[in-house]
Amino acid sequence: MSTVFHKIVSGEIPCYKIYEDDDFLAFLDINPKCDGHTLLIPKTPAKWVWDVEKYTEYFEVARKIVRHYQKVTGNDLVVMKVVGVDVPYAHIHILPYDENYGRGRSTLTPEKAHQIMKKFSMIN
């Protein structure tokens, strides 16, 4: 089954990339719960995070992103969630805590995405 994440990895659907290497891709959630709400996925499909072939490396990348977010926000609180019900493809939510956290979802506009990417992106 092809999911939206399969299409993002293949380049069929564009995304606002925050981090990318040979095995993993992190990008802004289009319905964020806070500024910087990021999804981290493996490029090799897996339905569940515990099925990710490079499981240890996957969580090392998550930690790298969290540490970066702590540095750019000046806030140690970065929430990480593994829920797995929205899309049947392994993904980790990384949410830098801010005053808007938990106040519902919004839609990410291109203008807002570019502002957030300037602050959070790990891609040079």
Give the residue numbers marked as catalytic.
Answer: 91
d(CA 21, CA 84): 22
Q: How many CA atoms lie within 13 A of 75 on its CB side?
A: 10
Answer positive or negative: Cα dihedral of 64, 26, 47, 23. negative
CB 69 within 8 A of CB 36: yes
